[in-house]
Chains A and B, each alone.
Chain A
Amino acid sequence: MTLEHPPEHTVPVPRIRSYVANLDEQMEGGFPEGSVVLVCGRPGSMKSSLAYYMMYMQALNEGRRGVYLTLEQGRTSFARHLAHIGLDPDASDKVAIVDLSALRKSFGDTGPKGDTNWLNAILSQAASYKQLFGCELVTLDSMSALYSLHSFENPRRELFHFFEGLRTLGTTVFLISEMYDPSKEIFARYEVEDFLADGVVHLKVDRNNGESNLYLGIVKMRETRHSRNYFPLIVEPNGFEVVAH
């Protein structure tokens, strides 16, 4: 697919490159800076690895600091996994992995007062980390873990405010979202998250005759003319790559 030229007189949007080879060309050079992007897929589709990779490469190549918030997987276990695919978290002090699961284990899920509002707590923590680390990129892993902690009364309304809160941080945010039903393209549990997000990146595992192939599609990206194709995603020793047609 060939992208059309953007109309004249449009103000260029600052972009955050993904550093996935051949992908940025499919979305005008990258994610619009400050956008909130869902990275969705079924278990094993490399959502966490991809999100960390993009932050890691931004840190390495452009010096942008990032914070990766993990709510379930421990820091040590995640770091070991990353090292296994060639991403050494100790190689850059610009991407901090903050293990909120360790806090949960130490102090419980309901917080010191027993009534923690986790949506607000994450917003507040992300704002603190922006100040503490000077970060421009934030990943939250995962939305499902967050949902297991937060008791919703009105999901649509609360998620609207959560996404607005993320947007006002002024950082580019990746939200890891697990998809459970292989027969449906439901990108997140409450089926509103993809409307609220600025972008949706879908990682699809195609299993056929015992073979398993991974595809990446940009389902949605505001302020961006992007390809709607699904591209084979390859993980090479030197990084992620999509095979563009």
Chain B
Amino acid sequence: MTEIENRMVEYMRPLFGEFASSALEQQKAKLGFSERPGAAEYLRLVEEIRAMCAQIAGTPVAEKVYAGLVKIVKEAA
């Protein structure tokens, strides 16, 4: 896992608990992540995680998680 992914997992942990890492890996696999993903790929990943959060905890929570993850991606870009 890259540093940015570790930061994303930590950000997701309050909602996903111990499933945070699995959730990120599952969405990466779904998107067919490349070996050296760029910011655009990570933003697509964040969109997928937003959809997943909405299913688990509703739109307001999903938007909060989404904003935090976008910030992480942009800071790392």
Contact = CB atoms under 8 A, between A and B. Distances in A.
B13 A128 contact: yes
Contacts of B60: 93, 96
Interface string B7-35: 00000011111110111001000000000
Q: Which of B19, B22, B55, B60: most chain A Cβ within 10 A?
A: B19
Contact of A112 (B13, B19, B58, B61): B19
A121 B17 contact: yes
A125 interface: yes
A107 B23 contact: yes
Interface residues of B, number: 18
A125 B17 contact: yes
B67 interface: no
Interface in A103-141: 103, 106-107, 111-113, 116, 121, 124-125, 128-129, 131-133
Contacts, number: 60
Contacts of A111: 18-19
Contacts of B57: 75, 96-99
The main secondary structure of chain B at its interface with chain A is helix
B19 A103 contact: yes
B14 A103 contact: no
A89 interface: yes
A110 to B, nearest CB: 11
Contacts of B22: 106-107, 112
A102 interface: yes
Q: Which of A113, A116, A121, A133: most chain B Cβ within 10 A?
A: A133
A119 to B, nearest CB: 13
B11 to A, nearest CB: 11
A103 B13 contact: no
Interface of A: 75, 89-90, 93, 96-100, 102-103, 106-107, 111-113, 116, 121, 124-125, 128-129, 131-133
